[in-house]
Amino acid sequence: FYLETEKIPVMRGQWFIDGTWQPLEEEESNLIEQEHLNRFKGQQLQESFDMEISKPVDGKEAIHSLKLSRNHVDWHSVDEVYLYSDATTSKIARTVTQKLGFSKASSSGTRLHRGYVEEATLEDKPPQTSHIVFVVHGIGQKMDQGRIIKNTAMMRDTARKVEEKYFSNLATHVEFLPVEWRSKLTLDGDTVDSITPDKVRGLRDMLNSSAMDIMYYTSPLYRDELVKGLQQELNRLYSLFCSRNPEFEEKGGKVSIVSHSLGCVITYDIMTGWNPVRLYEQLLQKEEEELEERWMSYEEQRLLEELYVTKQRLREIEERLHELKASTLSKPPVLKFKVENFFCMGSPLAVFLALRGIRPGTSGSQDHILPRTICNRLLNIFHPTDPVAYRLEPLILKHYSNISPVQIHWYNTANPLPYEHMKPSFLNPSKEPTSTPEPESASAAPSPTTSPVLVRRHYGESITNIGKASILGAASIGKGLGGMLFSRFGRSSATPQTMETGKDGPEGDEKKATTAGSPPLPHSSSGFLEPTVELEHRIDFELREGLVESRYWSAVTSHTAYWSSLDIALFLLTFMYKQDQEETDKSNLDTM
């Protein structure tokens, strides 16, 4: 998976330097190995000797020597081999020390060992890979070729640290594989480059190499090329991995996909088989229904009936044709594997689905947007300030627009609550003053014994309402650094804090906004949801903001900050190791 410019030599270590256990240069090592086999092949080593202690061979003559270009090697026995430098200074030093009574080996020789300090065993191999993760890039790969390989390497290294800390008791292993699908595509060739003006060329080239991918994907001419490019690369890598790991499929190995940005949309369309032609047919059908509903003359009705019969006949002929083709040639599946988990990072998928006509339903099933027969679990990960990311849950149940996404645990959180046990909470919980405030208390600074003032905006709430709340709370929030810190700590907490204001202040406005927007939901005084229509499992997961994090700067950097996050690495492995962890815990309980 490395680029041509990043070749890494792989050599076989045969002869190693005593103490440091560094391998000799490959050329010298091969010459020593060949000479050693010619002279000592068939002879047995000592049954046991301590490789960590170099015992000088005082008074022992060399039984064999080999001259190299800058060094020479002396064999005192089959397992006592020394390397000497033939530089002039080394020769002088050797002569002086030998005259002082020291042996040649102890004065300037470097002992060599054939083989490493630890002998290989049958168990000396990496753990079995039980889960592979394809990492799919989004836009901008043409601008920085190989970036997905570096990003995947960062994610892999971060996951290794998490595995060692939290999942070292499991005998299985998760492998991350980069999927670079953009560089092989032809698309328009250099047509766009040829029509690009020369002024501010650098900025224009950057946009052509990044944002242009979105335009290509929305183009009916090039969309299929992008879809087939990713689909073929996923299948190629899966076939290649299985050919090198034949036991993976036999032992029920699982496959997950981590997609970033536009890659989420393309991966989704591959899995579901979505095509713009289907949307066009739906629009035609809707137009027919509208025509039937409005008043029309007898002639229009007759022509419409003829059109309906003709289209019905055309559909029957097409279905028969498809059946004949299916009987002669079985169509292979789009992907050669079943997707266990589909992780979206910084994903605009929700916007694409909304523009395709997906609207909230009445069931809390993931099947509304992605059937579980195609993918077992859909998880949408985003940073709260990522400008490209959108929520998916409100497309399934509308009232989830007023329910907070699940907060992803910090990497170093002690005994975190499992995600399936976390209760949904409102973005703006009900107001419950701890004491009855006086009229002027709205402008008073918050005391340490009261809850911090916090103004949080509904997803979809109007800017006007926020402005009213902000004006009333400005006196308390704006009183120096203390108010800012209270607001920040309140925002970063796992459970949203309550907002203390006057009775006739923003509370009344917020009630009106709730009435005008989505219907009010039953909730407890703690801000958690009472039993109502809920999702089968949560889909939106939000990274936590840092306490001193600038939101404006985060908006610039957050979209590309997922790859090295320890929090995300722990989150991914938690879901991928979930079944293995449960089986291990069950076996431990059975043993006890």
pLDDT in tens, 59-76: 567 788 898 888 889 888
- Is residue 147 scored above 80 in pLDDT? yes
Cα(23)–Cα(13) distance, integer angstroms: 6
- Over its C-alpha atoms, the chain yields an Rg (Å, rounded) of 34
Helix, strand or coil, per DSSP, at residue 125: coil
- Is residue 472 scored above 50 in pLDDT? no
Q: Given this model, what pLDDT does residue 195 score?
A: 87
Contact residues for 131 (Cβ-Cβ < 8 A; gap 6+): 172, 173, 174, 175, 253, 254, 255, 256, 340, 576, 577
Q: Given this model, what pLDDT does residue 300 score?
A: 78
Closest CA to 493 of 559, 410, 415, 570: 410
Mean local confidence (pLDDT), 80-87: 86
- Is residue 490 scored above 80 in pLDDT? no
Contact residues for 204 (Cβ-Cβ < 8 A; gap 6+): 196, 197
DSSP class of 528: B
Give Cα separations from 392 to 266, 341, 395, 450, 504 (angstroms): 16, 16, 6, 35, 34
Q: Given this model, what pLDDT does residue 4 score?
A: 55
Which amino acid is located at 14 in the chain?
Q
Q: Given this model, what pLDDT does residue 44 score?
A: 63
Q: What is the DSSP string of 145-208?
A: TTHHHHHHHHHHHHHHHHHHHHSTT-SEEEEEEEE--STT--TTTTHHHHTS-STTHHHHHHHH
E-strand spans in 180-299? 254-260
Q: Given this model, what pLDDT does residue 585 score?
A: 60
Of residues 194 and 93, the one with the higher pLDDT is 194
- Is residue 589 scored above 50 in pLDDT? yes
Mind listing the pLDDT tens digit for each residue in 299-340? Answer: 877 887 888 888 888 888 888 887 776 655 445 568 999 999
Tokens of 9: 């030599």
Average pLDDT value for the chain: 76
Q: Given this model, what pLDDT does residue 478 score?
A: 39
Give Cα separations from 457 to 281, 385, 464, 467, 530 (angstroms): 39, 14, 11, 10, 21
Cα(577)–Cα(419) distance, integer angstroms: 14
Q: Given this model, what pLDDT does residue 450 score?
A: 38
CB atoms within 10 A of CB 37: 10
Tokens of 569: 């690495």
Cα(297)–Cα(293) distance, integer angstroms: 13
Mean local confidence (pLDDT), 453-459: 38
Cα(213)–Cα(144) distance, integer angstroms: 13
Q: Looking at the chain, how many residues does it have?
A: 592
Q: What are phi and psi of 521, to 5 degrees?
A: -110, 150
**CA contacts within 13 A on the Cβ side of 453:** 24
**Confidence band, pLDDT 50/70/90 cuts, at residue 476:** very low
Of residues 131 and 515, the one with the higher pLDDT is 131
pTM for the complete prediction? 0.64
Least confident of 47-61, 122-136, 232-246, 283-297: 47-61
Cα(154)–Cα(561) distance, integer angstroms: 11
Please name every residue paired with 66 in a beta bridge, in sequence order, or none if there are none.
73
Instruction: Tell which phi-psi region holds residue 52, choosing left (phi > 0), alpha (psi between -120 and 50) or beta.
Output: alpha
Q: Given this model, what pLDDT does residue 590 score?
A: 59
Mean local confidence (pLDDT), 192-214: 82
Least confident of 269-278, 456-465, 521-530: 456-465
Of residues 445 and 430, the one with the higher pLDDT is 430
Q: Given this model, what pLDDT does residue 294 score?
A: 64
Helix, strand or coil, per DSSP, at residue 29: helix
Q: Given this model, what pLDDT does residue 502 score?
A: 41
Least confident of 280-284, 416-420, 477-481, 578-582: 477-481
**Which sign, positive or negative, has the C-alpha torsion 253, 254, 259, 262?**
positive
Of residues 510 and 540, the one with the higher pLDDT is 540
Q: Given this model, what pLDDT does residue 548 score?
A: 62
Mean local confidence (pLDDT), 223-238: 93
Domain ranges (residues) in the chain: 11-40+59-125, 132-277+336-426+536-587
Mind listing the pLDDT tens digit for each residue in 554-586? Answer: 888 889 899 999 999 999 999 999 877 666 565
Give catalytic residue positions. 261
Could you tell me what percent of the chain has a pLDDT over 70?
A: 68
Give Cα separations from 235 to 179, 255, 332, 377, 560 (angstroms): 10, 12, 12, 20, 26
